[in-house]
Amino acid sequence: YKCPVCEKSFHCKYYLRKHERLHKGEKPFKHVQKNEKCPECGRCFGRKAHLIQHQRIHTGEKPHQCPECGRCFTYKSHLNRHQKLHTGDRPYPCPECGKRFVESAELR
């Protein structure tokens, strides 16, 4: 799905509609109160769990380990992305050259 204004592409119509609201001057997300502040860098978060997860950047904690190669990650999402390298799962082909990628963002 492609934005008719800026031609940015989305894999889902829902995200295109959400994006189009930006061009109309609408706020796409409801405002979230950010009361949780990181004592290290001052960054604020709307949820305590997000602050705790963020603080791993400062502590160096990497609790998510790849069972294939042992590499560790700060975030579970980073581990999930990494694991696709082992499975060979590359669902996003480049329309120009045919090379396949793990994530759609790599096509840009």
104 Cβ contact partners less than 8 Å away, ≥ 6 residues apart: 9, 11, 92
* Contact present, 68 and 86 (Cβ < 8 Å): yes
Domain of 95, CATH number, reads 3.30.160.60
User: Could you read off the pLDDT of 73-96 as tens digits, one per residue?
Assistant: 999 999 998 998 898 888 889 888
Query: How many domains in the chain?
Result: 1
- Residue 48 placed within a domain: no
Whether pTM exceeds 0.75? no
Residue owning tokens 């409801």 = 30
Residue 31: pLDDT band (50, 70, 90) is low
**Does residue 40 belong to any structural domain of this protein?**
no
43, part of any domain? no
Domain-embedded: residue 71: yes
pLDDT at 43 over 70: yes
Is residue 46 a part of any domain in this protein? no
Q: Which residue has the tokens 């189009």?
A: 20
CA distance 43 to 54: 9
pLDDT of residue 27: 65
Residue 81 lies in a domain: yes
Amino acid at 46: G
